[in-house]
Structure 1
């Protein structure tokens, strides 16, 4: 028994030695195989990068974006009826909600009355022009009559002057009595007064004629070159009527585009002001993708290049085809509320991402609708020469 026990360690030692010899013999081929494998992987990666990887760039940092349409009432009022709700598809021109139109109807009636009043005033102005013209003509005719009376008064004055001079010359000889001379003097005085009165009447008639003609000209100036359609006061009244009609029409609010209702914020009975956002319409047939590529991926990306996009919503079974239509004016960090300040001592370089806009095929969007904010995977074909 003691000999068998003593032989066991010797056998174990020989086995360990043989294993050590075998491991050393296999070590070199294993190292060589490992090196070959590393070189093969490196070569495959190099070939992939040159012949496959360099043909396209891809990212999973992409999201569905769309230009939403805000529905804002263009007149104020109380909400009388709401005909849509969130998530409801609508067509362009479809009725969304109504505002109470009582105030707008009153304003429209007032504008209609204002237009009728302006038209009547214009007709009155035209009639006044004719009346003032006739008055000016009558005043001009009175001048002729006043001139005739002045001529008659001047003739009577000349006769009275001649009679007085003749009697005054005979007064010293006693051929004319004092009474006749006094009567001739009174007749001369009366004739002089009549002539002065006739002259004043002529001046007054001339002044009245000038005044009447000025009034006619002033009245005509208000309507000169205008008609019942082009008169300023009538055009102003028509503009007010058109505004009142527009405000009345704006109490009925319709969808500006095709899409889906989102963020409805109004209820029946609520008072809304002009310009307040009542709801948003998302045009699901005009959505696009913002793909945020790393800056070192964009060296060969150009507008117009083809792109393929896969949505997490549908999975790889649905592939969208589109094209690059533009690049953002800056990275997301550049437009953040508090931009990063890199001029510091502990600065660490971080690879930035730049949004690339990819336009999708409308037909594919119609077949498989998307929603704003969905995650996407985008790949751009760099072999496209555009």
Structure 2
């Protein structure tokens, strides 16, 4: 009995090993078929992140924050007031520029009147000179008959020399006046135009004393506080629109040969997990590996060299409907699976990227310069007489 059991055990061991080998071969064959049909046609990377426009709101004038109207995470529309500042300095600068423009217009009015006065004076001097010339001719003719004394001719000649000198002085004054107002009027005179530019600049500084949202989005990175002294260029807020996001996926250079704009991408996020899938499209390839844009590019011309596989960033679109249903945030990690099996692919030099209008243009400054020019024209009209 024991001998029979000993004979059965090796037989069972060989049978179990055969079954295991068959299963292993089937798994290997299945994996090989999957790799040939599916795996080799896809590129997977988890080095992918959500990107978006983070719009900075910076101070444009030197002032002191008076009041803050928004807080982080609030949604604001384009043009919404974020913070107001004490505008005393910009207001006084505006009034000073307005006064300077008015004074310039009045001074030029005087110069225009001076040109007319000098022109009339020169005309009178010319007429007087012509009259003296005629008298001198008559005196010389009458001198032959003894009707005119020699002293009269001498005095007339002296008067003509004096008058010529006066005419020269008048012409010099006229030239000096014409240098300021010649071939111009009150509107296009260079002095007025310079004063108008100062008014427009002061008006823009005054109009931009308050901080407004350039685009619609969510408030982040608030650095404005009441009483804070701010300077031009200082960042006080960030506005983040969440409707126009995209994904930047970094793919190894060894896997980039078949990637083209237009390839479809299956995207999942760590934020929602695998239950939420975004269907994106490769819009374009960034024209350079990541190291080409780093702050400290690698220096490989040294004796010690270690090859590192570079990664090339891809821009991948995110569908608007999916974003509206499952919002994302810039900086979130994603997993991208790129389908490279498509036929008739585009060139890597033919991206699909298109710049939208919404979120890439602000209209809050559109009418400021127009209002500044209207203000300057009113000041000119009020002082033009």
TM-score range, shorter chain: 0.7 to 0.9
- SS of equivalent residue, structure 1 residue 93: coil
Counterpart of 2:282? 324
Q: Distance in 1 between matches of 2:233 and 2:338?
A: 41
Q: Distance in 2 between matches of 1:126 and 1:94?
A: 48
Verify: 1:108 aligned to 2:66, yes or no: no
Deviation at 1:44, TM superposition (A): 0.7
Residue deviations 1:325-371 (CA, integer Å, cap 9, x gap): 22334444555555566678886665544332212122322232211
Q: Distance in 1 between matches of 2:167 and 2:57?
A: 65
Q: Distance in 2 between matches of 1:340 and 1:239?
A: 49
**TM-score normalized by structure 1?**
0.80
Counterpart mapping for 1:120-131 below 5 A: 120-131=106-117
Q: Distance in 2 between matches of 1:207 and 1:26?
A: 138
- Say which structure is richer in helix: 1
Counterpart mapping for 1:68-87 below 5 A: 68-87=54-73
Q: Which runs of 5+ in 1 are unaligned?
A: 1-13, 163-187
Which of 9, 25, 39 is the matching residue for 1:39? 25
Counterpart of 2:363? none
Counterpart of 2:132? 146
Q: Structure 2 vs 1, CA of residues 265 and 196 (structure 1 numbering), >3 Å: closer, same or farther?
A: same
Q: Distance in 1 between matches of 2:237 and 2:252?
A: 36
- SS of equivalent residue, structure 1 residue 50: helix
Deviation at 1:63, TM superposition (A): 1.8
Verify: 1:119 aligned to 2:77, yes or no: no
Residue deviations 1:112-132 (CA, integer Å, cap 9, x gap): 111111221222122111111
Counterpart mapping for 1:212-291 below 5 A: 212-291=170-249
**TM-score normalized by structure 2?**
0.80
Q: Structure 2 vs 1, CA of residues 228 and 344 (structure 1 numbering), >3 Å: closer, same or farther?
A: closer
Q: Structure 2 vs 1, CA of residues 202 and 256 (structure 1 numbering), >3 Å: closer, same or farther?
A: same
Q: Is the 8 A contact 1:153 1:198 kept in 2?
A: no
Q: Structure 2 vs 1, CA of residues 335 and 199 (structure 1 numbering), >3 Å: closer, same or farther?
A: closer
Counterpart of 2:331? 373
* Deviation larger for 321-330 or 234-243: 321-330
Deviation at 1:36, TM superposition (A): 2.5
Q: Distance in 1 between matches of 2:207 and 2:161?
A: 63
Larger Rg: 1
Q: Structure 2 vs 1, CA of residues 88 and 231 (structure 1 numbering), >3 Å: closer, same or farther?
A: same
Deviation at 1:32, TM superposition (A): 3.4
User: How many pairs does the alignment contain?
Assistant: 344
